[in-house]
Structure 1
C-alpha cells in the first residue's frame, strides 16, 4: 500500500472515531492562543487551562505582559512545567510583538518562528488553530501515532512533520494533528496502549515505547 493511501485510510478511520477532535486549549484571541500554546509544552492542556483561567481575565494583551513583574508572571504560571523559561519567553515575545508587529501576532509561519518560545510545533499549531491555515504540529502523541502506524520512521519531531506533510494533503494537516492527539491520549498511550479498542490496529507496527 502506498504511503499516501495508508495515511488516507488511517485518517478516515480516526475521523469516524473522533469527529469531535479539536484543540482543548481555551482562549479568546490569537495572542491568548499563542500564550496558551507556549505554556502547553511539557504540560497538559487541562493544566494550562487552569492557569490561563486565572491569568487571562487580567492579562490578555502583549502590553500587559511587558508591564508585569517577572515574579508575578511566574507565580501565575508555576502550575505548568518549565514556568521560569516560559515566563521569560512570553515577556520577550510580547515585547517583540509591540516593537515589530504593532501588538499583533503574525499569521506567517516563518515570522512566528522568530518569536521567543516558538518552535515548529507551536508555529504549526498557531497556523491551524489561531489562523485556520495549514499546519501540522508534532507533539508526543502525533509522534507516537505516526511511528506506530508506520507512516514515518523518525524519532525527531521536525523530521516526522516533514514526512507527514509529504503524504498528507495540506487541507488535512490540521485535522490530522487533532485526530492523532485524541487517539494518542485515549487509546494509543505510550506505555499501556488499549490495542483491543484501536480502530487502526490493522495498521499498527506494535512499536511500544
Structure 2
C-alpha cells in the first residue's frame, strides 16, 4: 500500500470518527490503567459495568490495596478471568504505592514492570493518558492491519512496527483509536460492513462483502 492511499484512509477515518477516544470509562490515569488491565479478553462495556461499582469505592492504589483480594474480586467477578486479574491489579497497586508514590509511571519500562501490564497495555496508557504517538495492537488493529493491507504482519509487534513507520505523522496520535473503533463497529471480524465503510475503495481486502 502506498503512502497516498494510507493518508487518504486516515483522512476519511478521522472525518468519520471526529472524536477518537477510548470507550473505557475513567476519570484519571490510574482508573484508565486498572480498566485496561481488566479489559484483557473482555469487552469495554463489561469492564465499565464493573468499574462503575468499583471506582466510587476505590479509585486510588491504596484504596484498592485496602479492599484486599476478596473485596476486589467481589466488584469484578462479572469480568472474565477475574481471579487472575484481581491478583494482578492488587499487586500493581502495591507496587504503585511502594515504588511510585501512588502515581502511574510515564515510561514503557516502568509500566511493563507492573503485574498484568504488557506492551499493549503500556501503549494504551502512553497514548491515551500521556499523549505519546504509540499504537496498541489489539485484535481489531491486528485484523485491520492485515485485512486492509495497511500493515500486514504475522504478530501484533510486526503490525505495530509497520504502523509506527507508515502512519502519516499528523494522524499518529489518533491512529490507535481510529483503527480500533473502525474495527469494532464497521470492519468487524466475521462479516465486515463493507457497504457502510468510508474507505471501501481504498481497502485492499479481496473478499469485500456487498
Q: For this structure pair, what is the TM-score category when the shorter chain's length is used for normalisation?
A: over 0.9
Distance change (3 Å), C-alpha of 1:170 and 1:127? farther
Residue 99 of structure 1 aligns with which residue? Answer: 98
Q: Describe how 1:48-87 pairs up with structure 2 within 5 A.
A: 48-87=47-86
Q: Is the 8 A contact 2:73 2:83 kept in 1?
A: yes
Structure 1 residue ranges without an equivalent (≥5): none
- Alpha-carbon deviation of 1:31? 0.8
1:121 aligns with 2:105: no
Aligned residues: 207
C-alpha offsets along residues 35-72 of structure 1, whole Å, 9 cap, x if unaligned?
Answer: 01111111111111111100000111111122222122
Counterpart position of 1:111: 110
The answer on whether the counterparts of 1:135 and 1:170 sit within 8 Å (CA) in structure 2 is: no
Contact 2:134 2:164 in 1 (8 A): no
* TM-superposition CA deviations, 1:142-186 (whole Å, max 9, x none): 111111111222231122111111112565333111111111111
Corresponding residue for residue 180 of structure 2: 181
**How is 1:17-56 mapped onto 2 (pairs within 5 angstroms)?**
17-56=16-55
Runs of 4+ in structure 1 over 2 Å off: 4-7, 169-174
Task: Name stretches of at least 5 consecutive residues in structure 2 with no aligned partner.
Answer: none
TM-score, with length taken from structure 1: 0.92
Q: Is the 8 A contact 2:64 2:93 kept in 1?
A: yes
Give the whole-Å Cα distance in 2 for the aligned partners of 1:158 and 1:82.
24
In structure 1, the partner of 2:165 is 166
State the TM-score, normalizing by the size of structure 2: 0.92
Contact 2:145 2:153 (8 Å CA) reproduced: no
1:68 match: secondary structure: helix
